Amino acid sequence: MHTFPHMAGKTKVDLQIRGLPAGLQGRIRAKAARKGVSMSKYVIQILEDNIDEPNTINDWLDEVTSLPPVPRYKPGMGAAAVRRIRDAIDRA
């Protein structure tokens, strides 16, 4: 593993992925090209965007139930809002 402490004041390391399927590499390369970034930058962005996401529904539920309650929210308000939107779509 190599470190690059001179880069933007942050220590960076190399990460090698062995056994990456060729088809997956091709998809990564194509998406990175469409975004105009290198494969490395694209994969780093994917990792940054997803590393803190809950792994399971139970992890997500633990996270949600640890949040403070929403002021003035009453049970059923979310379902009622969805029904209003669906009704509006059906009338359109």
**Residue-wise pLDDT tens digits, 34-65:** 999 999 999 999 999 989 888 899 999 998 99
In a domain, 26, yes or no: yes
Select from 51, 49, 43 the least CA-distant residue to 27. Answer: 43
In a domain, 86, yes or no: yes
* Cβ proximity of 24 and 35 under 8 Å: no
How would residue 82 be classed by pLDDT, with cut points 50, 70 and 90?
very high
CA angle 21, 22, 25 (to 5 degrees): 90
What is the residue range of 66's domain?
22-91
* Cβ proximity of 29 and 21 under 8 Å: no
In a domain, 33, yes or no: yes
pTM for this prediction:
0.55
In a domain, 12, yes or no: no
Phi, psi torsion values for 3, nearest 5 degrees: -115, 150
* Cβ proximity of 81 and 70 under 8 Å: no
